[in-house]
């Protein structure tokens, strides 16, 4: 049992934790959520002893080992494999295959094992630290945004790996789908407390929203009742015949709880401004090719047409040229061959990974957003600042003091300051919290123009993309379909050819298998007319878990919600009857509305449950068929 009680933490006037508490049982995998700046990383630092709480009572079991993803880069061994082996337990120091298994899953190759860690990018160096944390098998594993430097394939691999994790884990991630797929419980840092539930992020946010709605309605009713009582007391205070009634109401006032109005927590709500486009094609790319190193081609003979309503996602492993392609489409890079032709009426909004670095450190938020469109007056610029959660004096903050998430919001503000009909977005969710990501996805869905986005989030792919540009097998090709259709018809080459002991999510103690590079894979265009080699049962079971687990969690959540609401119905009916007998008109009306709303929500939940159950059964039958065929 891990126990945190009486946790207090302040930074000057800023309150992070105030009498917060959290308990974890054996084998729990906990998703830790909350807005940026509310204390998630600080809680990790306190658990690791890197930071002191102002007051707390934290207890761990005896001989309990805590491991974490180290963001600081400091390597002491000459090769990747040797550095990774530093994470092994003393009794496993020669079990190098356990390290290789994890490194392969995180995107390293057999040839990388003998290379120096310093030769790799910062993202791969963080992956090496992640491998050391995973292979150490601590009793409690702390992971702070482990997917930040992972590509989509590595995220899929670590999802399967963490689902096999037997000990305790606390995970911080802005990727809601990833978190829900690997955790058993969720804890929310909210209003300086920590609230925990068994289940998904959706369950805890729904529960907190409901609790706060009840709190506010109760506060309003009690305030109204207090005013009625005070009016009675003031009216009849001087009348001797009413002295007893007045005195009883004064005592009642003294006993009534004083509920504070909940402070408003700012949310990111915005929409991209659309400028009309009447043509058929926003942009055409013909036979474009590009490379920085002739020996490492990135894009070859790509043809692409972007139409006014397109939703295109660019996907693939890191370092394959996704951001480069976006810069070519934006006109910041010229292809070495071929042509990119934008429409004369195209208006571009661009969010690039390096754009944040182009913000002027000494400029204010207001100045940066205003410079994006000099036709806007100050009131209009301030309005955009407020939409991006920089209200009032916050708009006067200098860029140099902003966090990564705040800088991302400034960049989004610069885009919405100028109307566009084509958005090019390169990993726009980096540094944003879950609520901000949901607002961004909703804004993309509502945008009337075209969107091309680079993302490793499968949730965003499923919510947004109707067409894909796939970097795989040394090729860059267009897939006319959504992400699930891509997985079904094409799939990822590494997952199709992965071998035991490399990137399969098998327990670490299994014996190693061979680890050659992946076999050559036909081009996407060729695969449409070819029958794919059959998957083995291990592959099918892994994919089955990845697909069905999130659906099952949604079903469980809906079943719990239906049970809870159905239990409320008789209580509401009793209260309604009592209000009718006592002729409490306001209470009767309010309870009638509440009863009607609860019944309507139950009906909706049953419909959603039926839809999800049908979806689960269909997909389950499909996998059962595949398993029989693979037997």
Distances (CA, A) of 612 to 135, 210, 250, 605: 37, 23, 54, 10
| 3-class state of residue 243 by DSSP | helix
CB 288 within 8 A of CB 334: no
Q: In which order are the strands placed within the sheet that holds 475-479?
A: 348-351, 422-426, 450-454, 311-316, 467-472, 475-479
The mean per-residue pLDDT over the stretch 586-608 comes to 79
Name the pTM for this structure: 0.69
Is residue 286 pLDDT above 70, yes or no? Answer: yes
Parallel/antiparallel/unpaired status of strands 422-426 and 348-351: parallel
* Phi-psi region at 152: left, alpha or beta (left = phi > 0; alpha = psi -120 to 50): alpha
Alpha helices in 389-466 (DSSP H): 404-417, 434-446, 458-464
CB 389 within 8 A of CB 268: yes
Predicted confidence (pLDDT) per residue in 408-422, tens digit: 889 888 888 889 999
Query: Distance (Å, rounded) from C-alpha 287 to C-alpha 271?
Result: 34
**Structure token digits, residue 505:** 């999510």
DSSP secondary structure code for residue 274 in this structure: B
Query: Distance (Å, rounded) from C-alpha 464 to C-alpha 458?
Result: 10
pLDDT value of residue 506: 44
Which is more confident, 244 or 67? Answer: 67
Query: Distance (Å, rounded) from C-alpha 330 to C-alpha 337?
Result: 16
Is residue 379 pLDDT above 70, yes or no? Answer: yes
Q: What is the DSSP string of 348-365?
A: EEEE-TTGGGGS-TTSBH
Q: What is the phi/psi pair of residue 35, to 5°?
A: -70, 155
Predicted confidence (pLDDT) per residue in 11-44, tens digit: 888 899 999 999 999 999 999 998 887 899 999 9
Place of tokens 């043509």: 279
Element (H, E) at 452: strand 450-454
Which is more confident, 434 or 577? Answer: 434
Query: Distance (Å, rounded) from C-alpha 128 to C-alpha 120?
Result: 10
Query: Distance (Å, rounded) from C-alpha 138 to C-alpha 144?
Result: 15
pLDDT value of residue 267: 66
Confidence at 354, pLDDT banded by 50, 70, 90? low
Q: At what angle do helices 96-105 and 122-135 cross, to 10 degrees?
A: 130
Nearest to 586 by CA among 212, 217, 216, 213: 217
The mean per-residue pLDDT over the stretch 380-407 comes to 86
- In angstroms, how far is CA 595 from the centroid of its own chain? 34
Predicted confidence (pLDDT) per residue in 140-178, tens digit: 999 998 988 888 989 999 999 999 999 999 999 989 999
The mean per-residue pLDDT over the stretch 271-286 comes to 91
Query: Distance (Å, rounded) from C-alpha 174 to C-alpha 434?
Result: 5
Is residue 534 pLDDT above 60, yes or no? Answer: no
Predicted confidence (pLDDT) per residue in 489-523, tens digit: 998 887 766 544 444 444 444 333 333 333 344 44
Is residue 428 pLDDT above 80, yes or no? Answer: yes
pLDDT value of residue 535: 61
Query: Distance (Å, rounded) from C-alpha 192 to C-alpha 288?
Result: 53
**pLDDT > 90 fraction of the chain, expressed in percent and rounded:** 43
pLDDT value of residue 502: 44
Lowest-confidence pick of 304-318, 382-396, 519-533: 519-533
Confidence at 303, pLDDT banded by 50, 70, 90? very high
Across all residues in the chain, what is the average pLDDT?
84
Predicted confidence (pLDDT) per residue in 83-135, tens digit: 999 999 989 988 999 999 999 999 899 999 999 999 988 888 989 999 999 99
The mean per-residue pLDDT over the stretch 541-566 comes to 81
Parallel/antiparallel/unpaired status of strands 311-316 and 422-426: unpaired
pLDDT value of residue 468: 96
Lowest-confidence pick of 85-89, 352-356, 556-560: 352-356
Place of tokens 């039926």: 610
Nearest to 179 by CA among 66, 68, 31: 31
Query: Distance (Å, rounded) from C-alpha 412 to C-alpha 402?
Result: 14
Query: Distance (Å, rounded) from C-alpha 273 to C-alpha 522?
Result: 41
pLDDT value of residue 514: 36
Say which residues have a Cβ less than 8 Å from residue 45's Cβ, sequence separation at least 6.
51
The mean per-residue pLDDT over the stretch 425-441 comes to 85
The residues facing 284 across adjacent strands are 305, 341
pLDDT value of residue 359: 85
Predicted confidence (pLDDT) per residue in 514-526, tens digit: 333 333 444 444 4
Is residue 194 pLDDT above 90, yes or no? Answer: yes
Which is more confident, 89 or 1? Answer: 89
pLDDT value of residue 497: 61
Query: Distance (Å, rounded) from C-alpha 546 to C-alpha 553?
Result: 12
Helix then strand count (H, E) for the chain reads 19, 18
Lowest-confidence pick of 202-206, 446-450, 555-559: 555-559
**Structure token digits, residue 567:** 């239990």
């Amino acid at each position: 049992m891990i126990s945190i009680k009486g946790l207090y933490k302040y930074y000057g006037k800023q309150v992070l934790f105030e009498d917060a508490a959290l308990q974890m049982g054996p084998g729990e995998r906990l998703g830790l959520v909350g807005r940026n700046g509310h204390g998630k990383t600080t809680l990790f630092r306190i658990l690791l002893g890197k930071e002191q709480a102002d007051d707390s009572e934290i207890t761990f079991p005896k001989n309990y080992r805590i491991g974490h993803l180290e963001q600081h880069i400091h390597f002491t061994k000459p090769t990747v494999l040797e550095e990774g082996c530093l994470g092994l337990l003393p009794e496993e120091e020669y079990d190098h295959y356990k390290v290789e298994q994890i490194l392969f899953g995180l995107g390293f190759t057999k040839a990388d094992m003998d290379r120096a860690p310093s030769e790799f990018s910062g993202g791969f160096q963080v992956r090496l630290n992640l491998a050391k944390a995973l292979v150490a098998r601590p009793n409690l594993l702390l992971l702070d945004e482990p997917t930040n430097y992972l590509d989509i394939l590595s995220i899929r691999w670590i999802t399967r790996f963490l689902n096999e994790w037997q000990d305790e884990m606390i995970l911080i991630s802005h990727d809601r789908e990833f978190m829900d797929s690997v955790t058993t419980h969720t804890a929310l840092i909210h209003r300086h407390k920590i609230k925990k539930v068994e289940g998904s992020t959706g369950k805890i946010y729904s529960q907190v929203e409901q609790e706060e709605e009840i709190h506010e309605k109760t506060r309003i009713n009690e305030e109204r009742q207090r005013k009625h009582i005070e009016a009675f007391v003031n009216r009849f205070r001087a009348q001797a015949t009413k002295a007893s009634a007045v005195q009883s109401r004064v005592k009642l006032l003294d006993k009534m709880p004083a509920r504070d109005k909940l402070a408003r927590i700012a949310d990111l709500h915005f929409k991209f401004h659309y400028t009309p486009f009447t043509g058929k094609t926003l942009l055409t790319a013909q036979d474009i090719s590009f490379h920085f190193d002739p020996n490492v081609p990135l894009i070859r003979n790509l043809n692409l047409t972007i139409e006014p309503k397109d939703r295109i996602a660019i996907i693939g492993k890191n370092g394959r040229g996704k951001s480069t392609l976006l810069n070519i489409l934006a006109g910041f890079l010229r292809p070495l061959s071929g042509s990119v032709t934008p429409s004369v009426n195209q208006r571009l909004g661009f969010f690039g990974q390096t754009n944040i670095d182009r913000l002027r450190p000494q400029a204010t938020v207001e100045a940066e957003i205003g410079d994006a469109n000099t036709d806007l007056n100050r009131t209009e610029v301030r309005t955009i600042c407020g939409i991006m959660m920089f209200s009032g004096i916050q708009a006067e903050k200098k860029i140099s003091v902003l966090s990564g998430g705040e800088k991302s919001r400034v960049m989004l503000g610069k885009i919405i300051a100028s109307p566009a009909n084509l958005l090019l977005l390169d990993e726009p969710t980096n540094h944003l919290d879950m609520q901000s990501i949901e607002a961004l996805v909703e804004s993309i869905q509502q945008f009337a123009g075209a969107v091309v986005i680079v993302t490793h989030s499968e949730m965003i792919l499923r919510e947004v993309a109707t067409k894909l540009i796939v970097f795989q097998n040394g090729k860059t090709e267009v897939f006319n379909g959504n992400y699930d259709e891509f997985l079904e018809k094409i799939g990822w080459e590494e997952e199709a050819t992965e071998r035991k002991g490399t990137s399969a999510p098998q327990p670490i103690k299994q014996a190693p298998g061979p680890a050659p590079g992946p076999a050559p894979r036909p081009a996407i265009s060729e695969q449409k007319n070819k029958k794919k080699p059959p998957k083995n049962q291990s592959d099918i079971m892994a994919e089955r878990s990845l697909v069905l687990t999130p659906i099952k969690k949604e079903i469980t959540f809906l079943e719990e919600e239906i049970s809870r609401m159905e239990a409320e119905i008789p209580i509401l009916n009793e209260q309604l009857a009592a209000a009718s007998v006592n002729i409490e008109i306001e209470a009767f009306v309010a309870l009638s509305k509440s009863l009607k709303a609860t019944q309507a929500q139950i009906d909706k939940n049953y419909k959603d449950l039926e839809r999800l159950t049908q979806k689960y059964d269909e997909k389950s039958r499909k996998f059962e068929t595949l398993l029989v065929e693979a037997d």
